[in-house]
Amino acid sequence: MNKTVLITGATSGIGLACARKFAANGDRLILTGRNQERLAEIKKELKTDVLTLAFDVREREKAKQYISELPAEWQQIDVLVNNAGLALGLEPEYEGNLDDWETMIDTNIKGLLTMTRLIVPGMVERNSGHIINVGSVAGDAAYAGGNVYCATKAAVKALTDGLRIDVADTAIRVTNLKPGLVETNFSNVRFKGDEGRAKKLYTGIKPLTGDDIADVAVYAANAPAHVQIAEVLILATHQANGSIIVRK
């Protein structure tokens, strides 16, 4: 049975890959992101029913407004993919940028919580649904310069585990996807447009792609009803953990 899937941060990277993979699976999509023009382009590209909502997950009141005003035929959300997130900087913690920290915390943690709070009550009422949170290998252990970003992804793991406990008496499933080195615009954002610095991260290794992560998301969402894919760590072949990468 085809599902209605809401994906945050759907205009690029893993979020866009998820949109394409779920669309190919025949699912209907609600796509959120900050760039209305980009959302419109993606809607034209995808061969499925698509509803676009242009807002930043950090904007709680705007998120509440958009979700509360969903047309009746879009209100039953079967899968929530909490993908919106970012990393900024690699400075030592004692030299970090306070504004960057606030942006990461507000997006990666509070934005995820906002969307969870807005969508999951409907799933509980229907006794049906699936929440897929995009965490990171960075949530398992800190790496040099990762400090606050790693902390936000550790929070994603804890929040995902906590939600799974909270809905264990329902038929709702909760999944934490933990990608390793994925080549998207993630590093360009982290280094604020410094493409040379971003490209160095992928030198000497074949990194994962957004499609690789999206494949796992679609698999988890389509597992038999009695199967809950609770957590998946997805690494490039020559990556052992968040800090050990063998380059050849």
Residues taking part in catalysis = 149
Can you tell me the distance from the alpha carbon of 237 to that of 207, in angstroms, rounded to the nearest whole number? 8
> How is residue 10 annotated by DSSP?
T
Select from 127, 180, 130 the least CA-distant residue to 3: 130
Tell me the backbone φ, ψ of residue 48, rounded to 5 degrees. Answer: -160, 175
Give residue 172's region: left, alpha or beta (phi > 0; psi -120 to 50): beta
**Cα distances (Å, whole numbers) of residue 43 to 30, 48, 67:** 10, 8, 19
Can you tell me the distance from the alpha carbon of 35 to that of 181, in angstroms, rounded to the nearest whole number? 25
Q: Which residues contact 24 (CB under 8 A, 6 or more apart)?
A: none
DSSP β-ladder status, 28-33 and 173-179: unpaired
